């Protein structure tokens, strides 16, 4: 309902459904820019973007990382996303090719969304991002119960997610030495991508090798970078999906 109807129609639909239920239910209207964005239950724990930023700041200060962090990107809307990196943990994967460990932190104060914290790698030369898909490197907290529970969870999750990001950096460095064969077939089989996105990956691989034709052998580092480069032209939500897919490919090619 939330994704398909305008706010007034959403509200009318929910009111109709509630009126058909014999039990008396209380609800909460969530507003954004003067519009109804969601109808939530009394168990819902509000946690707006201002609270999120304050909580992240406190957590970074507590762990001595506030002076090291840099905000690389912000996206706002139904979901708010912060991309943070830590230049103090820079690694030269190749000469002059620097990457930082980082975190993606997202939250929505509407509907059934949650606070998500995910480890990532930020490649400085092209501002490509690489997100980890595995559960061990991401943490989620539903908007249920008390807001203090969300705050406590975020403060505990940030150092753990950073530790996983450092592990990902190790895989990222190993990707330079891992060779991938039958590249054209591999890209063609990436059904997670659209035809346009697969074309962009091929273009990036040709550019990486300075070749007019797509080579049948490359290293995992070039392959994953081509995937993250394809995410640049996408809108924010799709970009995060593509960067997560790139993280999955890194893990498949390099291993744990």
Tens-place pLDDT, residues 23-65: 555 666 666 666 655 666 666 666 777 888 899 999 999 989 9
pTM of the shown model: 0.79
Residue 136 has pLDDT above 70, yes or no: no
Tens-place pLDDT, residues 54-94: 999 999 999 899 999 999 988 877 778 899 999 999 999 99
Q: What domains can you pick out in the chain, each with its CATH number? A: 7-41 (no CATH), 49-174 (3.90.1150), 175-254 (no CATH)
How would residue 110 be classed by pLDDT, with cut points 50, 70 and 90? Answer: low
Q: Which residue has the tokens 């400085």?
A: 124
Q: Which residue has the tokens 């058909």?
A: 20
Tens-place pLDDT, residues 174-196: 999 999 999 999 999 999 999 99
């Amino acid at each position: 309902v939330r994704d398909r109807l305008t706010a007034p129609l959403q509200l009318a639909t929910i009111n109709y459904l509630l009126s058909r239920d014999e039990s008396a239910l209380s609800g909460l209207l969530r507003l954004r820019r003067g519009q109804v964005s969601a109808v939530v239950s009394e168990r819902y724990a509000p946690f707006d973007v201002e609270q999120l930023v304050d909580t992240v700041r406190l957590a970074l200060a507590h762990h001595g990382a506030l002076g090291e962090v840099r905000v690389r990107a912000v996206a706002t809307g139904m979901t708010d996303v912060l991309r943070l990196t830590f230049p103090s943990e820079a690694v030269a994967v190749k000469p002059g090719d620097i990457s930082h460990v980082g975190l993606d932190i997202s939250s929505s104060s509407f509907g059934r969304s949650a606070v998500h914290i995910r480890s990532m790698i930020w490649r400085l030369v092209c501002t490509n991002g690489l997100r980890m898909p595995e559960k061990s490197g991401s943490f989620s907290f539903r908007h249920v119960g008390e807001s203090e529970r969300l705050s406590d969870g975020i403060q505990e999750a940030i150092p753990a997610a950073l530790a996983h990001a450092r592990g990902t950096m190790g895989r990222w460095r190993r990707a330079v030495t891992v060779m991938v064969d039958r590249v054209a077939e591999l890209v063609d089989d990436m059904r997670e991508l659209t035809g346009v996105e697969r074309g962009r990956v091929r273009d990036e691989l040709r550019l990486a090798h300075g070749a007019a034709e797509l080579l049948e052998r490359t290293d995992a580092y070039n392959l994953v970078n081509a995937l993250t480069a394809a995410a640049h032209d996408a809108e924010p939500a799709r970009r995060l999906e593509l960067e997560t897919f790139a993280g999955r490919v890194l893990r498949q090619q390099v291993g744990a």
